[in-house]
Structure 1
Amino acid sequence: MTTDLTDIQNIGPATAQSLIAAGIPDAETLRRRGAHEAYRALLLAGERPHFIGYYVLQMALQGRPWNDCRGEEKAALRVKFDALVAETRITTPTGIEAALREIGLVVSQSPSRS
């Protein structure tokens, strides 16, 4: 039996739609992947990074109100969020580079090693 994403506190229809588009179709899949990897999927699917969305997802999977994230916990999540955004920017082309790759004018290159 699958559970709708909106059955999880803090996840509304728009977030659920974004998660589904990112390959997370139900609450069980979201719980299994965890908030961090689910947010990675959102970024790789083209969602713009937003720290509040990241920590709301963290709070949702803990069954806590979205605005319950404070102090040291919030600061630690910010570090994880910033690292995730940096990782996905390296692997996911954006802007003109993404458009050029999509039409085949730019070929992906492996990062060079020094």
Structure 2
Amino acid sequence: MIQASDLTSITNIGPATAKALIGAGVPDVATLRALGAHEAYRALVLAGEKPHFIGYYVLQMALQGRPWNDCRGAEKAALRERFDALIADCRRSALPDDIPHSLAEALDRIGLARR
């Protein structure tokens, strides 16, 4: 059973997000602030949460004490780039070491590399 947490004391973090964060090893506000939104979101994804850009920037806004929909323009574009890089990194790190990380490596492994 998930224990109660002070995570919901932060604007934009409701019970479902708090439960997911606790399940990902982020049990409280102090841990969330120490990790930061980016690394806390990494923990969520690696724990099996489905990646979603809105959830990523809502967490960013929450830790800044801003409304979730306050993210716009260049700031939102920059966060999108960070989100995309984070998700790509999570997907790479989730692959077993013996699985190739590119099509060229895969083709080489089965003997179909370009000559």
Task: Indicate which of 20, 35, 38 corresponds to 1:18.
Answer: 20
* Partner of residue 98, structure 2: 109
Give the TM-score normalised by the residue count of structure 2: 0.80
Structure index of larger Rg: 2
In 2: Cα distance, 1:73 partner to 1:8 partner:
21
RMSD value, Cα: 1.8
* Partner of residue 84, structure 1: 86
* Partner of residue 30, structure 1: 32
Shift of 1:109: 2.2
Shift of 1:108: 4.3
Matched residues, number: 98
Matched-pair identity in %: 70
SS in 2 for 1:89: helix
SS in 2 for 1:63: coil
* Partner of residue 74, structure 1: 76
Deviation >2 Å, runs of 4+: 107-112
In 2: Cα distance, 1:78 partner to 1:6 partner:
25
AA partner of residue 38 (structure 2): H
Give the TM-score normalised by the residue count of structure 1: 0.80
